[in-house]
Structures are given as C-alpha cells and as structure tokens.
Amino acid sequence: MRLRIDADLRYAMSEPVDVLLMIEAAELPDQTPIDDRLAIDGIGPLRAIAGEDGVGRRRWMRADGDFHAHYQAVVEVDRRPVTIDELPITPRRELPPEVIPYLWPSRYCEADRFEAFVAREFPGDNHGRKILAMARWIREHLDYRPGSTDVRTTAVDVFVSRQGVCRDFAHLLASLARAAGVPARLASAYAWRLDPPDFHAVVEIWLAGDWYLVDPTELAPLDGLVRIAIGRDATDIAFMTIFGAAELIEQTIRVERIDGD
C-alpha cells in the first residue's frame, strides 16, 4: 500500500520557546518513506536527534512568533495482516533487555494499579488472545469522546471516567498488558481512513519475539498505519512538545492511498 501524507501545523508563540517536533514518518521494516519533505518557518537552527529506541526522528528548534511546519511524504507500507491469537506471551524471565522497560509503570500508564483487575478479569491463557480480550473490553466499556480528556489524563482516570480518545484507549491497553506481564509501548501514527483525520495513537505488544500492532479503538485499519514514534506513553510520542506558551492556530492532517483502493 502506498500512502501520501500531508501534515500542516500553525502556531503562534508569544515568546521565544524551545520546540521538540516529531512528525516525520519513521523508516521501519514494514514501512518505507519513499519521498518526504519537512519545511518549517519561524524558527532558529534545527538539530535532529533519534527517537526512542532509535525509531523515527525528533527535531529541536527555537521558535518565536508565527510558527508553520509542513510535512509531506509518500510512504510504502508492506504490512501483512497477522492474527496474534495464538502467539505466546513470553515469560518475564526470558524477555530481552531492550523490552523490559515496557513492563514498568510510567507517567500515564500506572500498570501496577491494574494488577488485581487484570488477574480477575483476564485469568489464565498465555497467548495473544488475552491482549485481544483486553482491547475488546476497552471498546465495550469506554466511550470514544473527543474533548473528554486532556494532557493530564492517565489510564486510571480513563478507567474511572470510562471515556477518552485514542491516546487514552492506548494508555489503558498498555497498562493492562503490562499488568499481565506483557511488554507494551505506544506508537504515534498517521492513519489511513481515520475520520476525522488526525494524529493517531495505537499500541505495540511484544509477543513471540516481536512487536505487533493493536488498535483498541479499531478506528483505522492496521495496514494503513504509518508510525512516527514509539515510547512508554504519550510523553515519548508527542508530535510536538513546546517548552513555553503557544497558541494553536490551525492543524490539518491528510492521509490518502495513491495505489488504488
């Protein structure tokens, strides 16, 4: 599948601020940026650094006044559907060192607070079916409601309020998986057929020696996702972190398939 991505961000900075931007498609085994261009106005010098675990690319900059970032890309996605039902959960003692941090609680994913709930609600079964059951529970018990949460909302908050947006659904699934001893990390992505178009948050689960995508919202097909960043939670995958005051003027995201339907 070949996808064309167009992201346009406009902000007004009331004072000079440091900005960490991460909106470029990552190069990964199942997705290849063929042509991508990032143009930014209203900034000082750029400095590129690698994203978490070397996935994707962040850019440091100094911004003041009107800020405009425009990203365009064509990305080849070669991701075949995988059924994770029968994939085994790796015992904790056999996990490779690089995935162990994704077992731990984090700022937005208080996994330790869900251990009793997970043991009671999802007992037994050491296969991917357990993760799919968690995702199904989230869809059945949470309302997808834009504007119902904010940057302070954690997985526990969402569990109590039973409402949220994609990042909240992802935080809760990652928390439940970690509570069951399964490494889980968040991924930010561009998503084909997401309505309304926006940055999307999904989860990657470690099963049988590899990471597998799971979208607890089921709002977009997995084979139409283009990952930008991965991390422990929304702190690590934010498309834009502004260290100071800023006003959002306009933001548009477009993802279209250009090799047929």
Strand 47-50 and strand 163-164: the pairing is unpaired
> What is the rounded average pLDDT for all residues in the chain?
96
Same domain, 154 and 212: yes
Rounded alpha-carbon distances, angstroms, from residue 39 to 8, 15, 46, 251: 10, 21, 11, 15
- pLDDT tens figures, 43-99: 878 999 999 999 999 999 999 999 999 999 999 999 988 899 999 999 999 999 999
Rounded alpha-carbon distances, angstroms, from residue 124 to 113, 131, 189, 217: 19, 12, 32, 24
Q: Is residue 20 part of a domain?
A: yes
Q: How many residues does this entry show for the chain? A: 261
Instruction: Note the pTM of the prediction, 2 decimals.
Output: 0.96
Q: Is residue 30 part of a domain?
A: yes
Strands (DSSP E) contained in 143-245 are 143-144, 163-164, 184-191, 200-207, 210-214, 225-231, 240-243
Same domain, 110 and 131: yes
Same domain, 119 and 226: yes
Query: How does DSSP assign 63-128, residue by residue?
Result: EEEEEEEEEEEEEEE-------TTPBPPPGGG--GGGGGGGS--SS--GGGGHHHHHHHS-S--BH
Same domain, 116 and 216: yes
Neighbouring CB atoms inside 10 A of 175's CB total 30
For residue 44, what pLDDT is reported? 79
pLDDT above 70 coverage of the chain, percent: 100
Same domain, 196 and 183: yes
For residue 259, what pLDDT is reported? 87
Task: Label residue 162 left, alpha or beta by phi (over 0 means left) and psi (-120 to 50 means alpha).
Answer: left
CATH of the domain at 195: 3.10.620.30
Number of domains in the chain: 2
- The residues facing 195 across adjacent strands are none
Same domain, 106 and 219: yes
For residue 255, what pLDDT is reported? 98
Q: Is residue 86 part of a domain?
A: no
- pLDDT tens figures, 86-107: 999 999 999 999 999 999 999 9
For residue 45, what pLDDT is reported? 82
Rounded alpha-carbon distances, angstroms, from residue 25 to 30, 72, 255: 12, 10, 12
CATH of the domain at 37: 2.60.40.2250
Using pLDDT thresholds of 50, 70 and 90, give the confidence band for residue 258: very high
Same domain, 52 and 110: no
Same domain, 252 and 227: no
* Over residues 163-174, mean pLDDT: 98
Q: Residue 149 sits in which domain range?
A: 92-237
Same domain, 125 and 230: yes
Using pLDDT thresholds of 50, 70 and 90, give the confidence band for residue 261: low
Same domain, 131 and 38: no
Same domain, 229 and 247: no
Q: Is residue 85 part of a domain?
A: no
For residue 242, what pLDDT is reported? 95
- pLDDT tens figures, 181-239: 999 999 999 999 999 999 999 999 999 999 999 999 999 999 999 999 999 999 999 99
Same domain, 103 and 192: yes
